Amino acid sequence: MLEVIRGLSKKTDSKIVLVVLDGVGGLPLETNGETELATAKTPNMDALAKDSQLGLIELVGAGITPGSGPGHLSLFGYDPIKFTVGRGALSAVGIGVKLNAGDVAVRGNFATLGEGRIVKDRRAGRPSDEKNVEIVSKLKAAIPEIDGTPVEIYTESEHRFVVVFRSTGTPLGANVSDVDPQETGVQPLTAQALDAASEKTAALVNAFVARAEEALRDETQVNGALFRGYSDVPHFPSYADVYQLKSACIASYPMYKGLASLVGMDVLDVPGEEDAMEEKMQVLRDNWDKYDFFYLHSKKTDSTGEDGNFAAKVKKIELFDSLLPQILALNPDVIAIVGDHSTPSKLASHSWHPVPFLLKSNYGRKDLAQRYTEEEAGKGSLGLRKGTDIMPLLMANALKLQKYGA
């Protein structure tokens, strides 16, 4: 559909705001109970829902649990099956690292390993950014290169870090299996090359893991490294080309800034702490006249779900709701609220459940939904849709698409 949309898109003065509440979809803790969204007190989203169209969104496909990268690509209109990118490249680009042809970037988690290398905590207790910087400095001193391949190590945030293996001639392959088992109580996995071109990369990863554990042997909490999301240099059609949009990203976490940058959005600087939503609202106001599309991201609705903290996720939803009037005061022509995947506190992980989608414009039909919740969205007039349907719907409601055919 990108080619079709490219041919129909037109430039107008109308403004679109796409709010992504990361991992907002949830599950009740008890049978017939309420999800985090339904539990939260959200008077502003409820009022908006009564004047909007709602539906449910599958980001990749039925029963498929999306990662944040594929989930966002789907929201941005790029088929996540066709357009793939590893978490490593998204994180690297998001923190300003330039990748060259033949390099491989990998997303890492600092972890807590117990006796026998058993994974006790995949996120090492979510250490502070300052602790992350300290650990990265140790690793930089211990692992400047591996068998002649330069190794660059960067802080991302909390438990997250990025490693870039730089090619010295023959391109490194990125088709490598994960080290992160994505569960506790087991040992880290051994990276395996999934094609011949990636054999050297797998060997580099396994050597890095071993040397990192040696360098961190005196640490009690941050003493292991888990890897997933290998990626070489990705390329995407740009928002300006496909949608004729001057677009801006307002996000804190590097991965989301990286993905926005890869699709051609301007990444605006957000001061303050990570996921500082008040500061994001100020950035939106300050740049309102400069862009016609804004992608506004909130992370903590996902982090609290991953931590299995139902009450904290409810509070983060309520925090966004309290700030929603600041967006509405700008009078966007189209506003949408959606998640990039579900992260139920009950599972403490991403899940396959469709996410609720709200769309407000001056051209919506009457809807039955009364709140922005999973159950109410299921009643909505937009029905169950693919994530890639969102951008065409936003464009159409902003009167930015011409008629197709005679």
DSSP string, 205-254: HHHHHHHHHHHTTT-SSS-EEEEEEEE-------HHHHH---EEEE-SSH
**124 located within any domain:** yes
Q: What is the pLDDT of residues 219-250, one digit of tens each?
A: 999 999 999 889 887 788 999 999 999 999 99
- Over residues 137-162, the mean pLDDT reads 94
pTM of the model: 0.78
Q: Are residues 251 and 338 in the same domain?
A: yes
- Over residues 312-321, the mean pLDDT reads 97
- Over residues 166-182, the mean pLDDT reads 93
Tokens for 271, please give them. 């001061």
Beta bridge partners of 150: 145
Number of domains in the chain: 2
313 has a pLDDT exceeding 70: yes
Q: Are residues 107 and 218 in the same domain?
A: yes
Q: Are residues 122 and 65 in the same domain?
A: no
- The pLDDT > 90 percentage for the chain reads 85
User: How far is the C-alpha of 150 from the C-alpha of 222, rounded, in Å?
Assistant: 24
- pLDDT given for residue 153 in this prediction: 96
Q: Which residues have a Cβ under 8 Å from the Cβ of 370 and sit 6 or more positions away?
A: 46, 49, 50, 376
| Domain final position from 196, 231, 266 | 231
CATH of the domain at 176: 3.30.70
Average pLDDT, the chain: 94
Tokens for 236, please give them. 């995407």
CATH of the domain at 266: 3.40.720.10
**404 located within any domain:** no
Compute how many other C-beta atoms are within 10 angstroms of the C-beta atom of residue 128.
11
Q: Are residues 363 and 247 in the same domain?
A: yes
- Over residues 159-165, the mean pLDDT reads 95
Q: What is the pLDDT of residues 207-217, one digit of tens each?
A: 999 999 999 99
**405 located within any domain:** no
348: left (phi over 0), alpha (psi -120 to 50) or beta: left
User: How far is the C-alpha of 50 from the C-alpha of 108, rounded, in Å?
Assistant: 42
Q: Are residues 71 and 118 in the same domain?
A: no
- Rounded alpha-carbon distances, angstroms, from residue 322 to 34, 293, 326: 21, 22, 9
CB distance 80 to 358 below 8 Å: no
274 has a pLDDT exceeding 70: no
- Over residues 351-368, the mean pLDDT reads 96
Q: Are residues 77 and 196 in the same domain?
A: no
317: left (phi over 0), alpha (psi -120 to 50) or beta: alpha
Based on the number of CB atoms within 10 Å of its own CB, is 273 exposed (0-12), middle (13-18) or buried (19 or more)?
A: exposed
Q: Are residues 374 and 241 in the same domain?
A: yes
**173 located within any domain:** yes
For the chain, count helices (H), then strands (E): 14, 14
**57 located within any domain:** yes
**321 located within any domain:** yes
Q: In which band, very low, low, confident or very high, does the pLDDT at 326 lie, cut at 50, 70 and 90? A: very high
Based on the number of CB atoms within 10 Å of its own CB, is 231 exposed (0-12), middle (13-18) or buried (19 or more)?
A: buried
Tokens for 389, please give them. 């349907």
DSSP helix/strand/coil, 131: helix
Q: Are residues 80 and 122 in the same domain?
A: no
**96 located within any domain:** yes
Q: Are residues 193 and 265 in the same domain?
A: no
- pLDDT given for residue 98 in this prediction: 85
| Domain final position from 183, 201, 231 | 231
Q: Are residues 70 and 104 in the same domain?
A: no
DSSP helix/strand/coil, 258: helix
Q: Are residues 144 and 285 in the same domain?
A: no
Q: What is the domain extent for residue 111?
A: 90-231
| Domain final position from 231, 246, 266 | 231
Q: Are residues 292 and 337 in the same domain?
A: yes
**18 located within any domain:** yes
Q: In which band, very low, low, confident or very high, does the pLDDT at 86 lie, cut at 50, 70 and 90? A: confident
